[in-house]
Structure formats: C-alpha cells, structure tokens
A and B are shown apart, each in its own frame.
Chain A
C-alpha cells in the first residue's frame, strides 16, 4: 500500500502546481502530520492519510474551479454576458415567475414578430430548470437571492461539479492520482472556462458537466455490467439532452466506443447490458424533450446509435448460436449469411427511410462540423455565426493550449499521462535517494542495498535525469496554470455587453452603451413597439429592452432574417416599404466608428447582404463591393454608400471629429474617412444615440400626412 501512497503524493504535487493555495496547503498538511506521527496519539493509518489528502485536494480543486471563474464578477459586476445567455435568463425568469407548465407551453409573441415563437417547444430546458431548482431550493432555505445571481453563478457551480466527475472518471479509468490530476486540469482548462465563466449563462455551462457524467457512468456501467449504472447513465444522458443540442456528440461517441470494443473483440455481456439499457432508456427519456421529439428515430445524426444497437443484437444472437452449434464450419457459414443479411437489411432500411423522407438527412451544422468550409459555400446563416467559423490555428492554441474543449477525454488522457509520468519519475528519484540515505546512515552496506546501488551505478544519469524531467514537468504544469489564469482574466472574463478599453493615460474606460440603449428603449418607447435590428441583438432587446423584435438569435426562420437583411441593404425608400409591412417602429444599429469597436453592423453587413441575397436575388453581393473589396470610403460602391445600413450607421457622422489630426468623419473601426458624409434621412429620424455612438436607434416615421 505504501507504493500506492507515494504516487498519490506525487500527484499531489502535480495537482498543487495548478493552484497556489494548494502548494501552500500541502506542505502545511505534511508538517501537521509529522508531529502527529511523533506524538503517536492521533496516528493515522497510511490509507487514512491518503484519503485525507485526496479529499482536501479535491476540495481545493472544487473551490479553485469556482473562484477562477469569478474574474468577470470582480472586474465588472454580477451580470449576464453576451447574447444567448440573455434569452436563457429571460426564460428562467419566466419559469420562476409563472411555473413549469406555463414555461412549457410558452408562446412568445414578443420575438419573431409577427410569427411568434413557441419557446417551450424550441429550447433545451435543462439549464433553466436547473437554475430554477437551485433558486427554489435557496428560497426554501430562506436565502433571499435574486434569480440573476443564481443564473450568473450556475456555470461556475457546475464547473466545480465537473471537477468531481472528472476525478471519479479518472479514478475509474486509471487510478485516483490520475483522477486528481484530471480534476485539476479540467478546473483550469481555458476552453472550458471560456464557456463557463460567471455570467456566461449558457447551455454548455451545465451540458459539459452532464456530458462528462454520462461518459463516466457509461464507462462505469461497462466496467461493472451493472444495470443500475446503465440506468444512471441513461438519466445522465437525459439531463444532457435536456441541456444542450451537443448531445448529438454523445449519441455518436458512445456507439463509436462500443463499436471499437466490438471490433477489437472485447464484446462482453457487460457491454451488452450497459449499452442496450442505456440506449433504449436514454432514447425514450430524450423523446420527452419537445425540441428533440422523434429525432432519435428519424434523424440521420442518430442512426449510428441505432445501427450499433442492432449490431449488438446480432452479436448476441451469433454468440448464442455459437453456443448452440458445436460445429465450427457450420457456424462460419451461418455467420456469413447472418452478417450479410443484417448489413443488407440495415442498408435497405436506411435507404428506404432516407428516400421516403422518414429519416431526415444530416443538417447543415453537422456537415459544417465535418467540413468547415461547407457552410461558407452553402448556408450563409450558419457561416455567419462566429461559433461556427472554422477555428484559426492561433485561437486553437490560445483556447486549448494543451487540452481540447470538446473532448474532456483528452483532459483525462493527459491527466493519466501526467500522473503516470510523475509517478514513474518520483519512483525513480525517491528510490535512489532512499538508497543513498540508507547507505550513508548505516555505513555498512547490506547486500540488497549494494546490489541496488550497483544497479544504479550502471545508469549514472538516471537519477539526475529523472529529477530534471520532474522539474521540467513541474515547470510546464506551472506555466500551464499561469497561462490559464492569465487567459481567463484577460480574454474570457469580459461580458461583451459592457466593453472596456484603455484610455490615453492607461486608465480603464468602460463603454456601457448597450445597456444605455436598451434602457432607453424600455423607458421611452411604447410597450408594443417593434424594433428591427440584425439578429445578433434580438435576445438582448427582448430581455433588457422588453420590446418586440423582428428577428433574434434563434435563427429558425431564414426567410424572416433575409427580409431584415434585405431591408438593411436596400435603399431607404425600398427599406421603408419592407419596414411598414413588418410594422417596424424603431431600427437599431450598432456602430463602432467612434470607439473603434470592430464587431459592429458595418463589419457584419456583408452577411446581411449574403443572407438577404440568398432568399431575395434582387440583392447582389457584387453591388456592394468594388473589385471584390469591401470598403466604406470614397471609393465604395454607390449602392453601399446609399443603403440603409450605411445611412443609419454614418448619419451625422460626417460632422464628427473622432481623432485628433484626422478629417471629420474618420471611422476608427475601419481606419478610413467615410465616403458619404452628407446623409439625409427621409423616412426615418434619429431617436437616440448612446454616449459613445455604439448603439443608434432610429424611429420609422409615419407616412407623410399630405402625400
């Protein structure tokens, strides 16, 4: 058992390198233990020591995972970040106010005007229900807390829980040392942090926990062959399905895992029990989510799981036949016939299903996952979402450093690798020092010691090498920990609804224009006013401005979005007709020319043109480009200079001097002087522009009284 304890100590160090408190704590613990040992009154057994250390490390990792995600709350305030989380927040608020059945049947008439959206049937309710349950629990325990705080802290809380699951998973796959390293690594993995900082109230926050839990429980079920674990895994899968559309990964990865086991000849009764019960129960449970419905039996993405399910039945059947038939030759013949028939029937079923339309083909998002350039060529609306852009290598390194976000398994593997390496290296280093110690203390060498010493003598650099490698590993791990903390604090803790910049004197400047604009909308427009904006801001306008929007981030109706894109890229009079037909009262645009904020509507404008042109061929992308180049200065295309988006963005901008030494109308986001400074609006009037011009709101005028 001593041998077992030592690697744990080794991994203690590796874990403690991730967290400064841990390095402070673990030597303290040791020094606490030594007097205890010497007093011999409270002597703990080695196993108990190990347990104590393991539990305390796990607790520290648990806390660390939580607090490392709180940068954004400290830097800014307890607020919801970005775009989608605002929808989640709004629905959670509705859920806590109106109850589950109202939420389940919610028809939202405030978004996608005039089509409306069946919220209950088009979302993954896992996140909202989780937050609401936490909220109700806290209320029951008499903590008077606002639902917003619960929403802000849900993701860090679940990140902490994920570390626990990672620990058990690591322990299941390798040993408890690897589990601890896995927990520590997953706690600070930047890719995961980016989706789960405080305020990032998005599906992934709880879904990654559910994903890891499903994997862990399934592996546990396969290892034990227990129906109970398989059942638990099915429930974890249900939770995952209820939380995130990314469950498709699981329903493909688990069959893949099973398939690999089958091919490598590791088929067993345990696997059969685990997969069958997990698949059947998980599928039935997942069908209860309205948004998923019959996809498990109808959509192309889920067919792999079903195929593997039937394959397992064939395997079992063959096993049984083999058991009955003693003649090998007969069995071989039988095998050939069965396999051919099974594959034939499967292929025919799939073909008929596909041809009759019962089984839907793969969706565009799935294709774009396989081929990152697919969306760019075929579906502009998917390509326009930044999350779906093919990752640049730089950001890949930045985000994942050593680890990958979507594959916590990689986290596990690296944890195993790290813990195994350190274990081996410490073994070598410690064995050597022990020997030298004993040699020096005792003077006379025992036969065992001398033989070991001579063995070590044969490899003279082994000890030094091991120590050097150990130091190197510690250095790398500590670097990794520093990198993660730095990335978290610098890159992922910005709420993106409040922008921060450095002023001329190095002071921090806060641009709170978004909230200013939404608050203005809330207070100064009629309650039933309809606001048209590009879909990125839809969720925020409904959640914070409490006004009806035409399109929002739930991009379910391409035509409707294309109509808005068409309005934005048309001349003002044509756009006015479109806006009248949609009963638009206000138009909201985001403009970064004054502050140099580059993700504004002018930079997104080509997507509006593409999406609009995809449905309405009157909008042609080349009309907005000059020699294939997108520009807004004097050399810009005439249609570009007079389209609605240009006019609304640059209205009155020609009078403004943005930078010293530059002509008026100098656009800081694109670094050019704009081409059309004399913009006159005929059908719209400026209603509100925020203090830094980031959000501009225009009112659509009623038709002329006398014309």
Chain B
C-alpha cells in the first residue's frame, strides 16, 4: 500500500522529471537544428557533440524539410533553435519569419549563424533582433592588420579577433587566451535597440567589403562598429546569439592553430571552441539565469504581510534570489541589489544586505507621504536575467484616533477652555444669586 501511494505521488512529478524547459528548470533541453546541408552535421560535429554531451537533444533537420514545425497543438516542441542555414530563402513546413519571432517572444532561445551570401530571410530575422548585416551580399569582413597568419597571404578575410566583451557571465570565468578565428559577414547593431550587445567585435582597422572587387567607394561598415558576434537578451529573457560566420563553428576552425598578425605567439588551438561553447552555455540558460522568489514585506515585529501600510511605519522587505547553475538553483551572492519604495519617483532607495544563502533583506521607515507605493527591484546586470519585481502597496495617513491625544503644545488651549468654563459657571452663579 505505501508503495502504491509512493508511486501515485511520484507519478505526479513525472512531468517535472521530463527534460523540458520550465521555470523550475530553465535550461533548454530540446533543440532544433536547421541545416542547409546535412554535411554540416559532420563538419561541425565538435560543436554539436559539446552540446549533446551537456544533455541537449539535438534534432537535425534540413531547412527546407516540409515536415518541420516549431509547435504542435499550441505547444512548442523545442526549447531552442539553431539556424545553421545561412542561404535558405524559405523554410519548409510551418516555419517562417513570424513563427521564429513568436518562438523567441514566447521565451525560447535562438542561435543564428549567417555567412556572406546570407539570404534575405536570415537577414530579416537578424534585423528583427536588432542586427543589420552588411547590405552587400558579397561583402566580408577584411582586416589587414589583425588577420590570422596562414601559409598563403590570402585576402585577409580570415580574422583573428580577441576583442571580447568583458563578462564572466557570458564567457565563463576562464580567460580565453587564443584569438577567435572568424570568416564571414560583418554586422552593425541597430542604434534603436537597447538590448543587443557586441560580444566579439572587429578591430579598429577592419572594414566590410567585397574582397574580390576593387574598393570603389568607402565601405559602409568600418572599424570597431563592426560586430562579429552579437547577443541579445529579450525582455522575456529569451536569449539570441547572432554570428556573421557559420564556418567559425566548424571542426576545422575549432582545431586549427592561430597566430594573429603582428604578434609573435602562435596558439596551438584557436579560441573558437572555448568561446562558442561558453557562449552556448549562456544562450541555453546554463549560466546567468536568476530567479527571484518569496518576496516578502511586513511590519517590523510582525510576520504577516499587511494589505496597507500607514505613514511612518517600520517595515522589513526581503526577497530570495537564486542563480541556475545548469543543474540546480544556487544562492546568488551580490552586494548591489537595491530596492526602491516608489511612487512616481523613488522615496526610499536602499541596498539589500544578503545572508549569502540567497536571501536579501532590508528594513526601513515608510516615508511621511501617503499614496500607492511600489516595492521595486530593478536588477539589470550584463549577462544576467533582468529582474524587475514590483509589488504594489498603498500607504494610508493616520486614522482619526491614531494621533497623539495629549500634546504639550495644546495644554494652554486645554487650560483656556477649562478656565473659561469655570469662569462662566462662577459668573452665572454670581449674576443669578447675588443681586
């Protein structure tokens, strides 16, 4: 009997044991990989292996496969999408631009690798994510000073870049020593988009042009405005990686040695593998994913959350923040989490102190202003999930019987009133009976 009960209980947890994306288990698990050519599966196998070894189920499909689809019966079949199909003009099945954007807007992750000759479809998807590829389809990023040294002189389109974004969350705590090899199209970030970030940018001497033709007019994209690899974390925390090169994911680039022009050191192995693997960990929420739970506030000395505060109340606010490590939720430790007590502007702004076990807390006095306030935590840090928590709470003024009854300043008035009454009484008595 107890065994049966245990089974019945456990069967309820079955959905949670399934390897799917959920707020409790935010890493992507099922990933659809769309390819131009199934040969890519073997030529890029190192990258795919590293994903599979971390537990992802990769579903390889040709981009024009008529049976592919992202969702069925309103449920998404995948948690992530990798588009290694730079030349595809249209996808098979039910996938199109809108479907991919909906996929992202419902919180799923996306990796796009473009190339020179990238199709309009891929460009449009990138544009929707705040990235504009060079309009010339034949253009490649050329750099005559920081190219990768190779046997043949070449046209300097193979770039060795080490201009990484400085973020341990994005690129892991281990420093990437070797430069990253890149060969492909450059892109710029849309100035209107405030969310997209350059992860790997070109050197100041780079420019984007067609290497086969003579440069007749100044190139449209130059210098460090060119981004080679960009990321975007959407407001719903969907993460997107956009690269201008498909070949940088390949086994060939992963394994080849690299020597940046003008530097004496020759690295045995390029930085590609480390760079892209670490970045994929970020994209698929194995790192930098925060959650805030258990937001509590109550009066100092009480345990229950009131429906309303009174002005000048002392209150305690606490929130628990955890970070997903890829397997479990670990307490997040930082000293820069702040809470605002906000009504049109912050009336109180306080740093939260932490007990290093995930709990952040502070205590403060409600300002002497009534109104509808909000407890606001706006925590936006590079690479981390943006936390914006707000909880509404009204603050009322004193009730009629909550004011102090006897204040010293009023004693003269009490005296005046009572002496007046006594005087009137005496006057009346004298007036009536003393005639």
Interface residues of A (CB under 8 A from B): 101, 104-105, 107, 109, 113-116, 118, 528, 548, 581-582, 702-707
Contact = CB atoms under 8 A, between A and B. Distances in A.
B348 interface: no
A548 to B, nearest CB: 8
Nearest to B392: A528
A325 B330 CA distance: 99
B130 A707 contact: yes
B140 interface: no
Contacts of A707: 130, 192-195
Given A113-B372, A115-B371, A548-B372, 20 more contacts: A107-B370, A107-B396, A107-B397, A109-B308, A109-B371, A109-B396, A114-B371, A115-B343, A116-B370, A528-B392, A582-B344, A703-B235, A705-B235, A705-B236, A706-B104, A706-B129, A706-B130, A706-B240, A707-B130, A707-B192
B394 interface: yes
B370 A118 contact: yes
Contact of A705 (B194, B234, B394): B234
Contact of A706 (B234, B344, B396): B234
B400 interface: yes
Contact of B195 (A104, A581, A702, A706): A706
Contacts of A706: 101, 104-105, 128-130, 193, 195, 232, 234-235, 240
B344 A116 contact: no
Given A705-B104, A706-B130, A114 B373 contact: yes
B399 interface: yes
23 contacts: A105-B400, A107-B308, A109-B308, A109-B372, A114-B343, A114-B372, A114-B373, A115-B343, A115-B371, A116-B370, A116-B371, A116-B372, A116-B396, A581-B344, A582-B344, A706-B104, A706-B105, A706-B128, A706-B130, A706-B193, A706-B195, A706-B232, A707-B130
B25 to A, nearest CB: 22
Nearest to A115: B371
A705 B374 CA distance: 23
Contacts of B308: 107, 109
Interface string B237-263: 010100000000000000000000000
Given A581-B344, A706-B130, A706-B195, A116 B394 contact: yes
Contacts of B105: 705-706
Nearest to A528: B392
A177 B352 CA distance: 80
Interface in B180-219: 192-195
Interface string B381-413: 000000000001010110110000000000000
Contacts of A115: 343, 371-372
A296 to B, nearest CB: 17
A109 B194 contact: no
Contacts of B344: 114, 581-582
Interface string B305-327: 00010000000000000000000
Interface of B: 101, 104-105, 128-130, 192-195, 232, 234-236, 238, 240, 308, 343-344, 370-374, 392, 394, 396-397, 399-400
A101 B193 CA distance: 53
Contacts of A581: 344
A576 to B, nearest CB: 15
Contact of B399 (A105, A704, A705): A105
Nearest to A548: B372
Contacts of B192: 707
Nearest to A563: B344
Q: Which of A105, A118, A705 is most buried by chain B, counting CB atoms within 10 A of its CB?
A: A705
Nearest to A106: B396
Contacts of B234: 705-706
A50 B177 CA distance: 116
B397 A118 contact: yes
Contacts of A118: 370, 397
**Closest A-B pairs by Cβ, 7 of them:** A109-B394, A107-B396, A114-B372, A105-B399, A705-B234, A116-B371, A705-B105
Q: Which of B193, B236, B373, B392 is most buried by chain A, counting CB atoms within 10 A of its CB?
A: B392
Nearest to A113: B372
Contacts of B130: 706-707
B340 to A, nearest CB: 13
Contacts of A703: 235
A706 B192 CA distance: 11
Nearest to B190: A707
B82 to A, nearest CB: 18
A249 B57 CA distance: 82
A104 B397 CA distance: 12
Contacts of A101: 399-400
B394 to A, nearest CB: 4
A178 B167 CA distance: 93
Nearest to B129: A706
A280 to B, nearest CB: 13
A190 B137 CA distance: 81
A394 B369 CA distance: 48
A289 to B, nearest CB: 13
A706 B196 CA distance: 8
A118 to B, nearest CB: 6
Nearest to B398: A105
A562 to B, nearest CB: 14
Q: Which of A114, A581, A703 is most buried by chain B, counting CB atoms within 10 A of its CB?
A: A114
Contacts of A104: 400
A123 to B, nearest CB: 15
A328 B194 CA distance: 93
B309 to A, nearest CB: 11
A116 B128 CA distance: 41
Contacts of B194: 707
Contact of A107 (B128, B238, B394): B394
Contacts of A582: 344
B376 to A, nearest CB: 11
A107 B344 CA distance: 19
Contacts of A528: 392
Contacts of A702: 235
Contacts of B238: 705
A581 B374 CA distance: 13
A707 B191 CA distance: 10
A115 B236 CA distance: 30
Contacts of B371: 109, 114-116
Contacts of A109: 308, 371-372, 394, 396
A118 B238 CA distance: 43
A703 B195 CA distance: 12
A105 B371 CA distance: 14
A116 B344 CA distance: 12
A556 to B, nearest CB: 13
A195 to B, nearest CB: 31
Contacts of B240: 706
A107 B232 CA distance: 44
A344 B25 CA distance: 84
A706 B101 CA distance: 9
Contacts of A116: 370-372, 394, 396
A51 to B, nearest CB: 42
A118 B396 CA distance: 8
A532 to B, nearest CB: 14
